Amino acid sequence: VQLQASGGGLVEAGGSLRISCAASVRTFLLYNMAWFRQAPGKEREFVSAVSWSGGRTRYSDSVKGRFTISRDNAKNTVYLQMNSLKPEDTGVYYCAAARILSTNSDVDTNKTAYSYWGQGTLVTVSS
């Protein structure tokens, strides 16, 4: 599985940005997908995740109500729509994939559950 994140950039506080992650895999439906981020000098933290079908989503408390995760299984792509951005949202955003064991597999928030990672895309929010 290869993951390619894109769409990062510089945006003012209060603005919006959508980042994307394209997966090179034949069976995208067999993977739950997630976004994590890492700010300078900090550990990588969970942002959001979506189930294989798109029917279940999870968000960190810090982004709930501002960010929306979605996926297009026909395009093997997962998106993160980020609204009302804050300077503390600045960081490198990584997409990750976790192979599901069943259709009821949990949508994990722990980075250790994800075996495949993209290279990251930088999001900078200016104050």
Is the distance from CB of 31 to CB of 23 less than 8 angstroms?
yes
100-123 pLDDT, tens digit each: 998 888 899 999 999 999 999 999
The whole-angstrom separation of Cα 67 and Cα 69 is 7
Amino acid at 78: V
Q: What is the pLDDT of residues 53-83, one digit of tens each?
A: 999 999 999 999 999 999 999 999 999 999 9
Measured CA to CA in angstroms, residue 93 lies from 5, 27, 37, 55, 65 at distances of 8, 23, 4, 22, 18
How far is Cα 91 from Cα 20, in angstroms, rounded to an integer? Answer: 15
Q: What is the DSSP letter of 84?
A: S
